[in-house]
Amino acid sequence: MAYSGKRSYTINAVQTASPATRLVMVIDQLDASLARALSGYEKNDLYEIHCGLKNAQAVVALLRDCLQVEVWDGASDMRRLYEYSLDRLVRSNLAKERELLAEAEAVLRPLMSAWRQAAVLVNADG
């Protein structure tokens, strides 16, 4: 299958990135998706709200599903945070209620910041 130059570059960047860098890529996608949904709410653009929230839901589900409960004691608590956030995102999309997005963001923003800080530390350690 032939890819465009940009797509090939992106695929190569993901494949060669460290696990910590890949996590930051996922977090950046979540950040962009939340921003898109928020922008949709500000413009009353139902399509933007839907697309942003669907993408955010997919990322949160990915983060939740990647948790290894048998490896990390805190994974069960983290899973509950992701499930709560996912529930708020789904409900926000169904009801088109901005407050539900804000509830999800209140949980996700600090987690995103913590994951970014952890990735910097892991990458610094090699």
Give the tens place of pLDDT for each residue, 78-120: 999 999 999 999 999 999 999 999 999 999 999 999 999 999 9
Helix ranges (H only) for the chain are: 5-16, 19-43, 46-66, 75-95, 98-125
Give the tens place of pLDDT for each residue, 4-44: 777 665 655 667 678 888 999 999 999 999 999 999 999 99
Q: What is the pTM of this model?
A: 0.87
Locate 92 and state its tokens: 């926000």
Indicate the burial class of 15 (C-beta count within 10 angstroms; 0-12, 13-18, 19 or more).
exposed
Q: How far apart are CA 57 and CA 115, in angstroms?
A: 18
Residue 63, H or E segment: helix 46-66
